Amino acid sequence: MKYHVPVLLNESVNGLSIKPEGTYVDLTFGGGGHSSLILDKLNVKGKLFSFDKDDSAIKENKFKNVNFQLIKSDFKFFDLHIRDRGIEKVDGILADLGVSSHQIDNKKRGFSYLGNGVLDMRMSTDSELSAEEVLNTYDQDSLQNILFNYGDIKNSKIIAQEIISYRNKKRIINNEDLLMAIKNISKKKLSYKFLSKLYQAIRIEVNDEISSLREMLKKSVDFLKKSGRLVIISYHSIEDRLVKNFINKSSFNSDFKKDLYGKKIEFFKRINKKPIVPPIEEIAFNSRSRSAKLRIGERI
């Protein structure tokens, strides 16, 4: 089975507008699909630094290119690693914010509600916080906020209450436990859409994804050369809103970042006014790509 099918492969790599002698960063190596195509476009002077914090992705690396380095790290620390290697500025940064197919399909990782896998959801097994810990130790307000803010779940208060009520009798360890905890919130069978949002919210908390994304985006400003490209693929509205506002408004909200004199601060020129989405053919081949949105900014 293929480790991971890269999403919007040609669109995202083309979005980098690669210079053959340039220096590039792939912040989410995964199965190496995007990195492989970037390397194909570089000459002997070009360099690619790729990142992943998942041991299984690091072990998947089969690249022998001397101009390529794969670094085990959360992408929010990319600046420290490339600076340690003597790099001050790069020509392009790419990040695919999705969960890899390998992570989803491996029941031991706990990313999917299918089957009766353990509730882990850690992208890095070095991390101490797991989904099981979140579900069994967070108080009601914290659980409610996670479900509402990261999953856009409207009845988050009731769900949080049900989870706490269940765990007072039995520890929530696997999918079956979690589904039993929330089985009474609806008279109807819980939809796949709802379960996807529920698991998304917990996963985001476990991996501190929003904080990492914000930090990475802010650092990209200082590490991209003039006319360097920032290329981001997101999969849900929380991520996409942050990426959109940062590229379009230089801030994480809908208002422009301004200097002391009230003048707009612009970090990027947006390359695509609307997000690029997978074509019908790609969605038919890889259904997990259906929610992907690609945004491209060029450093001013």
Q: What is the reported pLDDT for 2?
A: 54
Percent of residues in the chain assigned helix, strand, coil, to nearest 5: 45, 15, 40
CATH top class, domain 9-102+210-299: alpha beta
Strands lying side by side in the sheet with 23-26: 68-72, 47-52, 23-26, 90-96, 224-234, 293-299, 268-270
Instruction: Specify the domain boundaries for CATH 1.10.150.170 within the chain.
Output: 106-207
- Look at residue 4 in the predicted model and tell me its pLDDT: 67
From residue 222, how far is each of 15, 195, 215, 241 by CA, in Å? 19, 38, 12, 21
R_g of the chain, CA atoms, integer Å: 20
**pTM of the shown model:** 0.93
Tokens of 145: 């906020």
DSSP-assigned letter for residue 66: T
Name the segment(s) of the chain with CATH classification 3.40.50.150.
9-102+210-299
**What pLDDT is stored for residue 1 in this prediction?**
44
- CATH for 106-207 (3.90.25.10, 3.40.50.1370, 3.90.550.10, 1.10.150.170): 1.10.150.170
Task: Report yes or no: 34 and 52 within 8 Å, Cβ to Cβ.
Answer: no
Predicted pLDDT at 151? 95
Query: What pLDDT, on the 0 to 100 scale, is given for residue 64?
Result: 86
Angle (CA) 93 94 100, round 5°: 150
| Helix (H/G/I), strand (E/B), else coil: 93 | strand
| Unique residue bearing structure tokens 């919210």 | 201
- Enumerate residues 6+ apart whose C-beta is below 8 A from 186: none
Per-residue pLDDT of the chain (300 residues; tens, 9 = 90+): 455 689 999 999 999 999 999 999 999 999 999 999 999 999 999 999 999 999 988 988 888 889 999 999 999 999 999 999 999 999 999 999 998 877 887 888 889 998 888 999 999 988 999 999 999 999 999 999 999 999 999 999 999 999 999 999 999 999 999 999 999 998 888 999 999 999 999 999 999 999 999 999 999 999 999 999 999 999 999 999 999 999 999 999 888 888 888 899 999 999 999 999 999 999 999 998 999 999 999 999
| Kind of pairing between the strands at 268-270 and 224-234 | unpaired
